[in-house]
Homo-oligomer: A and B are copies of this chain.
Amino acid sequence: MTISAETPYRLRYGAEAAFDVPAEWTEVLELQLAHRSVRSYRPDPVSDETLTALIAAAQSAPTSGNLQLWSVVAVRDNARRSRLAHLAGDQGFIEEAPLLLVWLADLARARQVTTELASPSPGDPDFSAAEGADFVEAALLSFVDVALAAQNASLAAESLGLGTVFVGAIRNRPLDVAAELGLPSNVFPVFGLTVGHPADLTETAVKPRLPQQAVLHHERYALEPQAAHVKAYEDLLNAFYTRAGLPTSWITRVAHRFGTTAGLKGREHLRAALKTQGFELR
C-alpha cells in the first residue's frame, strides 16, 4: 500500500523521508498519522453517548496490573470551564470547547480499597497505611495509566470527527484546580483535554516530528548521532513555522523551556503541589 501511506509519512517527516510502508495499511494508522491539535471549536455539544464511548475507549487501554489508577472529570458547565481556563493560562479555547476532560492520577481509590475494603487474611501484613502508595513507583503507575487512557479517548474522539488538544497548563495552578474540582488527597490533575467539533480544520495542520532515526534506536541507545537529526529537524520545522506564520526555531523553544527554572512558568512548584495532595514521591 503506497498512496495513502506516503502522504502521512511525508507530512510527519518531510518530503525527503523515504520509508517503505507495510503490506497492510489500516484506518487506525491513517487516523493516527493525521493527528493535529484542534484549538477552535463550534459550540455544538458533545453528546452523552459520545462521552460514554470516549471513556469506554479510555478504560479499554492497558493499565498496569489492572490497577486502573486514574479518574476523569467531565466539565461542561460554562462558569466552571471559564474558571478552569483562567487557571490554565487564560487560554480561550478551553472556554470555547463544549467539553473539558480533566484527567486525574488517582491513588485515592486504591488507598480506599487497601485500607477500608480489603479484608486481610490471617498472616497478612498490616495494610492500614497503604504504604506502597507513598512511593514514586505508585505515582508513576498513575501518570502512565492516565496517559494511556487519555490517548485512547483522544483518538476515539478523532475517529468520531471531533478535535482535541491536551492542556498541560492545568498543572500551572494544580491546587486551585483541585479545589475547583473537589479533588481529595491522593488525586492530582495531570492534564486537561478539550473536546469538540472543529471550527475550521484548515486552520490546523499536521506538525512534523523529529526524524524517526532520532527517537528509534536498534538494540542500544545512541545520543551522539542525534545532534545531526535535530539540525535537520530545525530546518524542516522552520519551514512549517514560516508557512503557519509562527516564530521559528525548535531549538530555541526547547532551550527556553529547559534552560532555566523560569522556563517552567510556575510548574517548578509541581513537587510541592503533589506532596500537598498526598503524593509523597518517596
Contact = CB atoms under 8 A, between A and B. Distances in A.
Given A110-B258, A143-B140, A181-B220, A60 B73 contact: no
A21 B49 contact: yes
Contacts of A127: 255, 258-260
Given A12-B56, A147-B144, A77 B183 contact: no
A2 to B, nearest CB: 11
A236 interface: no
Nearest to A51: B216
Contacts of A144: 143, 147, 190-191
Given A56-B12, A71-B215, A155-B155, A160 B19 contact: no
Nearest to A104: B221
B261 A271 contact: no
A2 B111 CA distance: 37
A169 to B, nearest CB: 10
A125 to B, nearest CB: 5
Contacts of A8: 56, 60
Interface string A55-85: 1111111111111101111111100100000
Contacts of A106: 215
A26 B72 contact: no
Quick one: copies of this chain in the complex?
Answer: 2
Interface in A102-134: 104, 106-114, 116-120, 124-127, 130-133
B221 A26 contact: no
A151 B281 contact: no
Contacts of A222: 182
A244 interface: no
A66 B181 CA distance: 28
Interface in A24-72: 24-29, 31-35, 37, 47-53, 55-68, 70-72
Contact of A23 (B35, B49, B51): B49
6 contacts: A21-B53, A22-B49, A28-B155, A72-B216, A127-B258, A138-B264
Interface of A: 5, 8-9, 12-13, 19-29, 31-35, 37, 47-53, 55-68, 70-77, 80, 104, 106-114, 116-120, 124-127, 130-133, 135-138, 140-141, 143-144, 147-148, 150-152, 154-156, 158-161, 165-166, 168, 171, 181-184, 187, 190-191, 207, 209-210, 212, 214-223, 226-227, 230-231, 250-264, 267-268, 270-271, 274, 281-282
